[in-house]
Structure 1
Amino acid sequence: MKSLVLLLVGGPVAVVLMAIAVVNNQPVTIAFDPFTPSTPFLALTVPLYVVFFGALLLGIALGGVATWARQGRFRKAARVNRREAARWRVEAERLKEVAAAPAPSGGTALPAPRRAA
Structure 2
Amino acid sequence: MVRKIVGLVILVPLAVVLIVLSVANREMVRLALNPFQPDDQMLSVSAPFFVFIFSAVILGLLLGSAVTWLSQGKYRKRARNEARSAVRWQAEADRHKTRAEEIAGSTLPRIQAK
| TM-aligned CA deviation for residue 69 of structure 1 | 1.0
* 2:69 corresponds to 1:68: yes
| TM-aligned CA deviation for residue 43 of structure 1 | 1.3
Identity of aligned residues (%): 38
CA distance in structure 2 between the partners assigned to 1:8 and 1:71 by the alignment: 29
| SS class of match (2:77) | helix
CA distance in structure 2 between the partners assigned to 1:14 and 1:80 by the alignment: 42
2:25/2:49 contact within 8 Å kept: yes
2:21/2:50 contact within 8 Å kept: yes
| TM-aligned CA deviation for residue 15 of structure 1 | 1.0
2:28/2:48 contact within 8 Å kept: yes
> Which segments of structure 1 move beyond 6 Å, counting only runs of 4 or more?
none
Residue-by-residue CA offset, 1:34-78 (whole Å, 9 max, x unaligned): 331133432111111111111011011011111111111111111
Larger Rg: 1
1:51 corresponds in structure 2 to 52
CA distance in structure 2 between the partners assigned to 1:54 and 1:8 by the alignment: 24
Structure 1: state its 5+ residue gaps.
108-117
TM-score (norm 1): 0.79
My pick for the range that moved more, 52-61 or 24-33, is 24-33
Structure with a larger share of its residues in helix? 2
